[in-house]
Amino acid sequence: MIKKLLLFVLLSVTVSLFAQKNSEYRPVTDDLMAYLNERSDKELVRINIRLKDQYDIQSLSGKLAVLDYAQKRELVVSELKTFSQNAQADLLNYLESKSYYSEAEIIHRFWIANVVSCMASESVIYELASRSDIARIDIDEERNLLINEPVSELVASDPVKGVDEITYNVNIVNAPAVWALGFTGEGVIVAVIDTGVNYNHEDLSDHMWEDP
Specify the pLDDT at position 12: 46
Torsion angle defined by CA atoms of residues 140, 146, 150 and 151, in that order, rounded to the nearest 10 degrees:
100
**DSSP strand E in the chain: where?**
45-51, 104-110, 115-120, 134-139
8/158 Cα distance (integer angstroms): 63
What would the DSSP string read from start to end of 31-55? HHHHHHHTS-TTS-EEEEEEES---
3-state secondary structure of 205: coil
pLDDT score for 26 = 80
Q: Name the β-bridge partners of 45.
A: 120
CA dihedral 60, 63, 65, 68 (to 10 degrees): -110
Spatial neighbors of 77 by CB under 8 A, at least 6 apart, are: none
Res 8: pLDDT: 42
pLDDT at 156: 47
Q: What is the pLDDT of residues 43-93, one digit of tens each?
A: 899 999 999 999 988 888 888 888 888 888 899 999 999 999 999 999 999
d(CA 198, CA 66): 37
Alpha carbon 42 to its chain centroid, in Å, reads 26
- Asked whether 143 and 48 are in contact (CB, 8 A), the reply is no
Domain ranges of the chain: 23-139
Amino acid 80: pLDDT: 93
* Residue-level pLDDT at 3: 45
Long-range contacts of 189-198 (CB under 8 A, 24+ apart): 195/146
The per-residue pLDDT for 205 is 76
The pTM (predicted TM-score) of the whole model is 0.59
- Contact (Cβ atoms closer than 8 angstroms) between residue 45 and residue 35: yes
Low-confidence ranges of the chain (pLDDT < 50): 3-23, 154-157, 212
